[in-house]
Structure 1
């Protein structure tokens, strides 16, 4: 429990340090400056409904106010239990209400890209604890954002037993409909894609692929390293058997096997401490895996932009068609459909009436185009700023993750050197 607390403090410091960057000094101070947030434990529960038992896991969220001048109304301290599905509901709500923001991802619901075979038990304690740490990191990410952190639904999620979910559930429904109808095919119908957002989309795919390959290589290396260390456990047994077959050399081998600092004992130790080292390495890789999941958040911003851009292009096309229709009416042109039906030419009064009707439609389309352009430009300004924010955060975080990983490898090598030096000393004594 102590290690998870220390890890949470490190994550909190890392996330808060981003708020000091000059690029976003105009933002308000985020919630994390006033409120301590932690997810210290999880609990397995059983729900009985009509003789059907449903097993699920809930996570405890503890909050404690450490500044009195918070910009929003908060409880001094609160503790609430939340299911993973409720975290999903919260994130969908944030995606819907703040489509221009790169919303932090949730940890995986099922383990993947690990060096060990994923556990068959969905309630595996080690995986649940890793997910708990990931959920805490998600809350810290949101609480460190100057806009998301002050959302009333998010505040209710942190401290209220009920009330927040009704709003979030309603938003979640619209979020799914919005994503399905507007974002699905918009990119394929855009006439002139924005190169800035095309670049973001391409980068998100490259980020996902590169991080995935790193995790795959690391998984293979860890699997081999684990096997090598475990095989060293056989040295003690082999030395004991060999010593019975030799003369003077056998005495030396026997000493090496019986002494507390002998080769056999050292090999047992060598095969044992690798478990803790790889667990620490796995926690480090979970932090890197977060940025693989961030790729979906980046694409979500691009999809929303494409939907808005499509609305602008559609409004412009409609306006162009109405202007063309007005030009044709003013010049007495008759459409192919009217010629096919043999309709008589328009009278002057009819032409004037149709021109007035088209003028009204043109004004309406101008308003729609202006509104669509305004929404698009506002979205572009905010989303590009948020993407820059993401890149600054990523550069800092990935550097810290890689340094942590390097230090773990150095520690593994040093422990290995210590073990082999002890074996050498045992052989010298023999």
Structure 2
């Protein structure tokens, strides 16, 4: 929302974007293949990054246009969006289940951290209110005004310490959690792309089977295929006087050519799907290693922040306790 209303140049917003960029670059740098790409090295080293970016984008766009059209890509996407895998690979089902559990855990962490931030803010306000009350009491008790004022300052310091910790450590914790959620969503996108490769193979295989059945029926003298369209087509041909042996032979030749073409396409789709499966499994290993590293950094930083806050609180109370202990109370 800050980006929309024009706060994108504030120091806090720029710092958050810088941290997100740093996490992204660290992920790429830990990747065994992406870290060696020309684009990544140019981003880190080139003094003319914008020029390189535009040239690379133009080159990539021209290569994509030469292979597939926009309409073909759109039709494939719409087709696969309403199609389910006939034989889901158990390996990737398990991976997707683990990703769902991981995201649920991160969402739970996010809720708990947000709740903790709210309560820490309330606690800081309560200590500030208590400090005001102690200050008023110090004005009334002239004999112990100085110790009570020291106690009041300790309460103010403790409340400010709690508030500062909530504003810094908790915010960084939540931002890192959001980053991990985005990382998990991105890997789910890779799994979805893998499913599309398998769908291509399954749909082509089914199409090949239908064409083979149609060729076999025609070769055995049963005419067209078994679908409703084939039924009407066969009736139209019968009304026209039937088909000759020459037309049947021509259809057989066309079907044989289509079968050969489809067999090559099915083989290519199977090889592509298998290669993509291997690549996704390799990427999953990298994802798991990166996730473990970032979770260690995330929880370690949060624990360090808690330790630092409590150490500062202990120091503040240690400075205050001697003055409180010197208060003389008559029996």
TM-score by length of 1: 0.64
From 263, 269, 273, the counterpart of 2:161: 273
How far the C-alpha of 1:303 sits from its partner, in A, is 1.4
Structure 2: distance between partners of 1:179 and 1:238: 70
Aligned match of 1:97: none
> Secondary structure of 1:193's match?
coil
Shift in CA distance, 370/231, structure 1 to aligned 2, threshold 3 Å: same
From 128, 133, 137, the counterpart of 1:242: 137
Shift in CA distance, 400/180, structure 1 to aligned 2, threshold 3 Å: farther
Structure 2: distance between partners of 1:185 and 1:197: 21
Shift in CA distance, 124/329, structure 1 to aligned 2, threshold 3 Å: same
From 119, 122, 136, the counterpart of 1:227: 122
Aligned match of 2:183: 294
Aligned match of 1:263: 151
Verify the 8 A CA contact 1:187 1:303 in the aligned structure 2. Answer: no
Rg bigger for which structure? 2
| Residue segments in structure 2 that go unaligned for 5+ positions in a row | 225-230
Shift in CA distance, 387/180, structure 1 to aligned 2, threshold 3 Å: farther
From 336, 349, 358, the counterpart of 2:246: 349
Aligned match of 2:297: 400
Aligned match of 2:306: 409
From 102, 107, 115, the counterpart of 1:212: 107
Structure 2: distance between partners of 1:183 and 1:391: 28
Structure 1: distance between partners of 2:207 and 2:195: 18
Q: For the aligned residues, what is the CA RMSD?
A: 3.0
Verify the 8 A CA contact 1:230 1:272 in the aligned structure 2. Answer: no
Asked whether 1:199 is paired with 2:85, we answer no
Shift in CA distance, 137/200, structure 1 to aligned 2, threshold 3 Å: same
More helix by share: 2
How far the C-alpha of 1:414 sits from its partner, in A, is 3.1
Verify the 8 A CA contact 1:183 1:303 in the aligned structure 2. Answer: no
Structure 2: distance between partners of 1:120 and 1:329: 69
Aligned match of 2:204: 315
Aligned match of 1:367: 264
> Secondary structure of 1:192's match?
coil
> Secondary structure of 1:153's match?
helix
Aligned residues: 309
> Secondary structure of 2:241's match?
coil
From 399, 409, 418, the counterpart of 2:315: 418
